[in-house]
Amino acid sequence: MRSKFIAGNWKMNKTVADAVALATALKSGFSAKPGVAAAVCPPFTALDAVGKVLKGSAIALGAQNMHASKDGAFTGEVAASMLLELGCSYVILGHSERRTLFGETDKSVNEKTQAALAAGLTPIVCVGETLEQRKSEQTSRVITEQVFGSLAELGGSLDKIVIAYEPVWAIGTGLTASPAQAQEVHALIRKLLVRLGGEAAAQKVLIQYGGSMKPDNARELLSQPDIDGGLIGGAALKADSFLAIINAA
């Protein structure tokens, strides 16, 4: 049976002082339970400080992006080795905000995914359709293209990734996919994973749901057979709501 994995994406929120306060509250309120893992992904500037607070706790550290190259002339970018040095075990890749606001493509997400795996980071690879795409019944096509494009040529490492299905129309809007809508896409992703890496690998991959997951809808979403956790935005910015979602898991 797959475990549940709840990760918080703090986006461009929290100064170092605010991040330390939130991480401290999470650490003191978190009680590790078998079968449930948790991580937080602060902005780059707060990774070091949050990592120090979380040391010795079961809450893991992740980043929100990285560059695919090992080092070099890439002003403003951060490499996998730099994230590892600060104690990161996860990195979010291809979030819809990166795809729509910063021009990321399946190809660049794929390069980053390969680089993260090679460095020993677990990528949380995001996919999801827009509202127009859902309304025009393009969801399966879009998800298929994103999964095959972002996860090409991972070889035997397919089972080392996490996928986040995040319908773009549900991110930060208060609109949530119904448990049935989310499960339908998660089941499709699982089938695509079988085609990419075989049944055994596909069954191991954790597929998170993201998009206005809150304490009051988490339990129902997380009880779907292919929903293995959540990638949480807004509700991850307060200790009580993030801890409540972990408890629901």
Q: How many residues bind ligand PEP (CB under 6 A)?
A: 13
Which residues in the 92-111 window bind ligand PEP by CB under 6 A?
Answer: none
Least Å distance, CB 5 to ligand PEP, is: 14
Reading the block at residue 155, the tokens are 């070889």
The answer to whether residues 127 and 163 touch, using CB atoms and an 8 Å cutoff, is yes
Q: Does 39 bind ligand PEP (CB under 6 A)?
A: no
Least Å distance, CB 211 to ligand PEP, is: 5
Q: Does 65 bind ligand PEP (CB under 6 A)?
A: no
Q: Does 207 bind ligand PEP (CB under 6 A)?
A: no
What is d(CA 23, CA 48) in angstroms, rounded to the nearest whole number?
12
Catalytic residue among 95, 97, 104, 186: 95
Q: What is the DSSP letter of 91?
A: E
Least Å distance, CB 194 to ligand PEP, is: 26
Q: Does 231 bind ligand PEP (CB under 6 A)?
A: yes
Least Å distance, CB 52 to ligand PEP, is: 25
Amino acid in the structure at residue 204: K
Least Å distance, CB 123 to ligand PEP, is: 14
The contact pattern for ligand PEP, residues 112-131, with x = CB under 6 A and - = no contact, is: --------------------
The answer to whether residues 25 and 53 touch, using CB atoms and an 8 Å cutoff, is no
Q: Is 72 left (phi over 0), alpha (psi -120 to 50) or beta?
A: left
Whole-angstrom CA distances from 211 to 111, 162, 167, 176, 198 are: 25, 16, 6, 6, 28
Q: Does 162 bind ligand PEP (CB under 6 A)?
A: no
Whether 153 sits among the annotated catalytic residues: the reply is no
Least Å distance, CB 73 to ligand PEP, is: 30
Q: Which helix (H) or strand (E) holds 127?
A: strand 122-127
Written as one string, the DSSP assignment of 145-196 is HHHHHHTTT-GGGGGG-EEEE--GGGTTTS----HHHHHHHHHHHHHHHHHH
Whether 186 sits among the annotated catalytic residues: the reply is no
What is d(CA 163, CA 152) in angstroms, rounded to the nearest whole number?
14
Neighbours of 19 (CB within 10 A): 21
Q: Does 229 bind ligand PEP (CB under 6 A)?
A: no
Pick the closer one to ligand PEP by CB: 9 or 65: 9
Q: Does 171 bind ligand PEP (CB under 6 A)?
A: yes
The answer to whether residues 240 and 195 touch, using CB atoms and an 8 Å cutoff, is no
Tell me the β-bridge partners of 92: 124
Find the part of the chain contacting ligand PEP (CB under 6 A) among 35-43, 98-106, 147-155, 226-234: 226-234
- Residues 35, 172, 198, 225: which binds ligand PEP (CB under 6 A)? 172
Q: Which residues would be at the binding site for ligand PEP (CB under 6 A)?
A: 9, 166, 171-172, 210-213, 231-235
Catalytic sites, residue numbers: 95, 166
